[in-house]
A and B are shown apart, each in its own frame.
Chain A
């Protein structure tokens, strides 16, 4: 049995050496949705992303293109070693060709290595580390929906332009928070705004009252939340208790999403300013997608990360169908970069040499409960950041793939 299988492996290896031309390995295109299904990013990505990937496959109608597509999914529990070993096993044993979603920066960077080593494809939608299109970029990865640099930059710029010209930062006191604060501050100053002060809170934080009181006393128009996850949620809730928004100040979240707003409720989140790549109530196509999504996901509304999974899987399948190739990951990614993207949710776009997907970003303000007319009616649009200004300039990222 053992001997038989190893002979089989050798024969298989010889055969694959012989057939170097384009092909669909083992006849099936397998897409693995790797994300957090039980922790803090389960709302942002989680089961909704799996649904979005399956929906993208269904809408693509693979049989019409002569493809057979399967979607598998796993919970990486926000642990890099689990994420990395699932990715390895998926690629080696289960013949997965593309891994999508992947929130949590440490897991992204771990899976990134595995995918490059095995020459497959990773498309990140739920995760945000801007390193993926910077120092850690590879010919096998694409960053689809957003990144931390883009959110900080877009929020800083658009808020100043729409009148929020004085800022006070509430920053998580570790490398990530500092970087977020530094990037945003630079943009605010560059666009003619001013920064009245900053306060650093311990990470992870639970009691933000004294920090919020100082921020309130600064009389800055905008209180920038340079933190993430549970810290941001706690800060927003406590700010609502202090009536900061009613006092005429606005909170600006630098890393907040629709799922957080949904969890907080409009009472606590009203007046919060944030940047997203996608919102369900913007076009008819989006609304149609959202309707199917809410029906299948117990009333939850799709997040930008989940819509990004749909958009990414669609573009991937289109490329695989035209290239007739899913085995050579770098080749597929190169073809994906060469073809402009076009799908019902994100519309037309492009993918840059460093793997950055380019599309507009939107600055939203969370509605007051009285302004919300229907379930999921959370945002009013404050500004649109055009695609060419939304992301970090190609030459600033330091991606080794970009020729200087």
Chain B
């Protein structure tokens, strides 16, 4: 499984696809409800950051809620209590998550496979406990009534449509960082670690450092998603640090297509839209429906939505080149 070299043809195809998706995202607030769009974007970025670990480095973290939640609490506290401007608050949130990622990473990357997942889960549960008990988080009530503030003191963010474009910009920035990371020499080594860790070590690379760096990057971006989510909803609560969220992000990533840049975004869109749209239509069946979809996904289209679409495109275009699905 080596990556095919980027040919001009493929490059154009990718560019057209990216522009089409971007145009779709830009037009979204006119056809759907902006808050729903922003929720999809935030969870999409969260899932993409998780995918950086699972899809490209082969590390299954089961504690990503800790990064989402920590950033959310830090950003909310910065905005509400310290009354900092919006952008520094976001940066502070993402930075705190990255720092936490470094601590988690140092401990967790010493182990492999299921042990890695268990260590991340255990550490994330510790963070849940911290936020449950810490006086500044408001316990079960959460930090409520967080002001959105303004951008550079000029653009008022209280309007949902304005905020949508700000959130879109942040998320596109996050995706760009992920794209750059994957297509850099650093990303090639991550993929090599995923395929055969021992061989990478034998080539003289310090595998532990690469893994740690990937972990910190992923945590920081997950934090950026959590911090942005605070702007959208104006609160940070325990629901963000709950292990359910760590499970949901696995679902989103697998559903969308593990190891594809845009796949987790699609998966997040499916899960978030179902959770919100079905809530007032089918009532208590929401969780069952999402469960059934997940089972169908695992049984019948294991490459996820984006993976299957890539495959379909290759077959239709008669493109026989084999390559990892990284569209």
Contacts and interface: CB of A to CB of B under 8 A. Distances in A.
B287 A38 contact: yes
B141 interface: yes
Given A47-B284, A85-B36, A106-B239, A77 B279 contact: yes
25 contacts: A32-B280, A37-B284, A38-B284, A38-B287, A74-B280, A74-B283, A76-B279, A77-B279, A81-B39, A84-B235, A85-B36, A86-B280, A88-B33, A89-B33, A90-B280, A105-B140, A105-B141, A106-B144, A109-B144, A136-B145, A174-B132, A174-B133, A174-B139, A175-B139, A203-B132
A109 B235 contact: yes
A131 B139 CA distance: 13
B283 A129 contact: no
Contact of B237 (A37, A72, A106, A113): A106
Kindly list the 3 A-B residue pairs having the minimum CB-CB distance in the complex, ordered from nearest: A74-B280, A175-B139, A38-B284
Given A81-B229, A82-B275, A105-B141, A73 B283 contact: yes
A89 B33 CA distance: 7
Contacts of A17: none
B171 to A, nearest CB: 16
B234 A113 contact: yes
Contact of A85 (B30, B39, B132, B286): B39
B279 A80 contact: no
Most buried by B among A46, A73, A76, A77: A77
Most buried by A among B144, B145, B287: B144
A276 interface: no
Nearest to B244: A79
A321 interface: no
A136 B144 CA distance: 9
A84 B132 contact: no
Most buried by B among A74, A81, A175, A176: A81
A92 B161 CA distance: 13
Nearest to A50: B283
A203 B139 CA distance: 12
Contacts of A174: 132-133, 139-140
Contacts of B276: 82, 85-86, 89
B38 to A, nearest CB: 9
A186 interface: no
A129 B140 CA distance: 10
B287 A89 contact: no
Contact of B280 (A72, A79, A81, A136): A72
Contact of B233 (A46, A47, A73, A81): A81
A112 to B, nearest CB: 8
A176 B286 contact: no
B283 A47 contact: yes
Given A73-B280, A82-B276, A86-B279, A106 B286 contact: no
A112 B144 CA distance: 10
B325 interface: no
Interface residues of A, number: 39
B327 interface: no
B284 A75 contact: yes
By DSSP majority rule, is chain A's interface helix, strand, loop, or mixed? helix
Contact of A176 (B33, B139, B145): B139
A89 B36 contact: yes
Contacts of A300: none
Interface in A72-118: 72-82, 84-86, 88-90, 92-93, 105-106, 109-110, 112-113
A136 B275 CA distance: 28
Contacts of A75: 279-280, 283-284, 286
A129 B141 CA distance: 8
A139 to B, nearest CB: 15
A46 B133 CA distance: 29
Nearest to A38: B284
A13 interface: no
B135 to A, nearest CB: 8
B85 interface: no
B275 A77 contact: yes
Interface in B85-133: 132-133
A217 interface: no
A110 B235 contact: yes
A15 interface: no
A42 interface: yes
Contact of A89 (B35, B142, B144): B35
A89 B135 CA distance: 32
Contacts of B36: 85, 89
A45 to B, nearest CB: 12
Given A86-B279, A105-B141, A136-B144, A42 B133 contact: no
B280 A80 contact: no
Contact of B141 (A32, A93, A109): A109
B238 interface: yes
A110 B237 contact: yes
A113 B286 contact: no
A10 interface: no
A75 B229 CA distance: 21
Nearest to B275: A82
A92 B160 CA distance: 11
Nearest to A94: B280
Interface string B232-266: 01110111000000000000000000000000000
B249 to A, nearest CB: 14
A137 to B, nearest CB: 13
A106 B275 contact: no
Contacts of A106: 140-142, 144, 235, 237-239
B158 to A, nearest CB: 9
Contacts of A85: 35-36, 39, 233, 276
A299 to B, nearest CB: 18
A14 interface: no
Contacts of B145: 109, 113, 136
Nearest to B142: A106
B248 to A, nearest CB: 10
Given A37-B283, A73-B280, A85-B276, A80 B139 contact: no
